[in-house]
Structure 1
Amino acid sequence: MPTDLTQFVHATMAQAEWLAHRYDAPRDAFQMIQVNRATRAAVPFLTDEHLGTPALRAFRRADLPVQPSAPMHFIFHSAYCCSTLLARSLDVPGAATALKEPQVLNDMVGWRHRGATPAHIRPVLDQALALLARPFCDGESVIVKPSNVVNALIGGMLSLRPQSRAVLLYAPLPVFVASIARKGMWGRLWVRDLLAKQLADGIIDLGFLPGDYLLHTDLQAAAVGWLAQQALFTRLATAMPNRVRLLNSEVLVSDPVRSIDAVARLFELPLGPNAIATVVKGNFARDAKTGVAFEAGRRSQDQANGLAAHQDEIEKVVAWARAVAERVGLQVDPPVALHLSP
């Protein structure tokens, strides 16, 4: 590699604001975009939809230097469970920088669905994680919250980062199903799309025949996707109890101080009581995606309104899903939960 290109690459990598954004498989190259800390905190997701067209640089993988990685931990989730709120709450300068659904990890999934083998994906995923593990300040950890479409790669990501720990955040089954019902057509289309991806990933093992999925209602499809993710989360937490913990979204919302404290302790973040109180005050009274303030009790009221509008369907689907879970030996209320100190 020419000296001037080497210097250009190293200069780019030395600046944390250059974010690994996309992986170009045909060219075996990473695209880096310039996104400062304030922008990362302001947008709900680090995706093209929310980032617009920032400055871009592309480098072949072979030209990138080995990255000294900061401590990296993960928030994996089942969607619609306050994961953006949790990630935003852990984005504390000097302690941690949070990456909310970086697009480059979605690219790993898309590449896998197009036929890439684990042997192809593993070194690229390893390099992607190393590129993401570049904090703004010395001593900071990097907290990555991937999109839930990345969940089939959780095991691989944790094996590549044996020092990393993970919170598996989920909404309880009735809350999740009601959330999808409340979102109308777009929510129902989303769970169908998620189900198709989960089937492609091979993570659904609930005793159904392939044709059965076409006979399910939209909310049954939502429940199947939830059960598949919960089965995955339970296996991971049971296999790695010292590294992986589950957290219920309703516990996070109802007891944010102890929840954030427990996550900080799991991730070994230097967040004391005053810092946590500030984090909770600044984040839990606002919409995590828009930053708009909302009145106390609005979330509970929205949940109650959605349940009232679709109660009969929700109750039937939840009962059906619990029967499916019982048939395959899946715990709907999973073990290895995050411990909240008294």
Structure 2
Amino acid sequence: MAPAMNDKVTDMGAIARNPAWLAHRYDERQDQIHLIHVDREQRASATFLTDEYLKSDPPLVVSRSAMLAEAPAPAPMHFIFHTAYCCSTLLARALDRPGMASTLKEPVLLNDMVGWRHRGGTGRQIAMVMDQGLGLLARPFAAGEAMIIKPSNIVNGLIPAMMAMKPDAKALLLYAPLEQYLSSIARKGLWSRRWARELLIKQIRDGAIPFGFDQSDYLELTDLQAAAVGWLAQKAQFAALLQSLGPDRVRSLDSDRLMADPAGSMAELIRHFRLSIDDGGIDAILAGPAFTTDSKTGNAFGAERRKDDKRQAIAAHGEEIAMVLHWAEELAKRFDVPMQLDHGLAG
């Protein structure tokens, strides 16, 4: 339960210094930040930092300038960018370790930057507020912790800007192999297929589909073809980021490799992010809830469960998946999109 607040905030400094007051939304019309009180335990238990998963009091609404005037210096910040259906939430949960790092799973404030852009916000306006917003998000719960932010993948169009704004930040580009990605969408049914189309629509608005489709072509795509086009567009963007930023700042990892070698992958990721971890810390992470329970359902989870889920999807939708996979591979060859990315974590 959040502390009771008067209509007029009298101690903005205390609010700004308390990381439990999460910078949740931005209203560009009023130039206001909406804060909600979410402590570390609540953040850890929430699948995502969205209203669907957070049960909070009405937000505390403050002016952006007032919040910035009192905000402390941000902590070191790093990012997990992803294609979805690739264990990104698992990684964010695994890295949230007191004394090492605090993590944010899909903060809505960054989604608001995308919405503002689609409503006609200028690049200069959005860049300034996003830079400041990232600073407000980077308030860890303990001194010395880094802040790891896992944005929603609808924010991927803003990755170049975020990496330019935060030159000391490092990033992981996490993706599922295409067959795994398509299997996950097919297995989860109608709403997942709809999500894939919604993502494609946002990518079209961002000008992120480099494959020469006409508007009418999109209407002819099946659900899984639409999903494959969205996946390929993200892979093309990730490949360009790896080339332009280099392996010191950006590394890649596919979810199959993560689940096949979780200890090696975690050790390399912790080194990449330059985090400090105590002896036995990685073993504790692997034995903890991130690697043993499903982040969305709380049910038992692990590498074998993920393989079983894929086998079930192939059994039910194998012909469709195989046809779309072949079609997508031909599209990737035509436009030189790599199916596997360079600069992978060594594991």
TM bin (shorter chain): over 0.9
Name the SS of the counterpart of 1:48 in structure 2. Answer: coil
Q: Which moved more, 1:271-280 or 1:250-259?
A: 271-280
Unaligned segments of structure 2, at least 5 residues: 1-7
Within 2, Cα distance between the matches of 1:146 and 1:309? 32
Question: Where do 1:210-249 residues align within 5 Å?
Answer: 210-241=215-246, 242-249=248-255
Report the equivalent of 2:262: 256
Whether 1:319 and 2:326 are equivalent positions in the alignment is yes
| Shift of residue 297, structure 1, vs aligned partner | 1.9
Report the equivalent of 1:75: 80
Report the equivalent of 2:273: 267
Q: Which moved more, 1:45-54 or 1:136-145?
A: 45-54
Report the equivalent of 1:305: 312
Report Cα offsets for 1:102-137 as digits up to 9, x if no partner. Answer: 111111111111111111100100111000000011
Report Cα offsets for 1:166-208 as digits up to 9, x if no partner. Answer: 0010000111011111111111111110000000011110122
| Shift of residue 296, structure 1, vs aligned partner | 6.6
Identity of aligned residues (%): 49
Unaligned segments of structure 1, at least 5 residues: none
Aligned counterpart for 2:337 among listed residues 317, 320, 330: 330
Name the SS of the counterpart of 2:61 in structure 1. Answer: strand
- Counterpart contact for 1:44–1:84, Cα < 8 Å: yes
Aligned counterpart for 1:37 among listed residues 37, 40, 43: 40
Within 1, Cα distance between the matches of 2:129 and 2:203? 22
Aligned counterpart for 1:199 among listed residues 196, 204, 207: 204
Report the equivalent of 2:160: 155
TM-score normalized with structure 2 length: 0.94
| Shift of residue 55, structure 1, vs aligned partner | 5.2
Whether 1:49 and 2:52 are equivalent positions in the alignment is yes
Within 1, Cα distance between the matches of 2:11 and 2:334? 58
Name the SS of the counterpart of 1:216 in structure 2. Answer: coil
- Counterpart contact for 1:238–1:336, Cα < 8 Å: no
| Shift of residue 293, structure 1, vs aligned partner | 2.5
Report the equivalent of 2:294: 287
Aligned counterpart for 2:14 among listed residues 6, 11, 15: 11
| Shift of residue 139, structure 1, vs aligned partner | 0.2
Within 2, Cα distance between the matches of 1:51 and 1:39? 8
Report the equivalent of 1:20: 23
Aligned length: 337
- Counterpart contact for 1:285–1:296, Cα < 8 Å: no
Whether 1:120 and 2:162 are equivalent positions in the alignment is no
Within 2, Cα distance between the matches of 1:288 and 1:180? 17
TM-score normalized with structure 1 length: 0.95
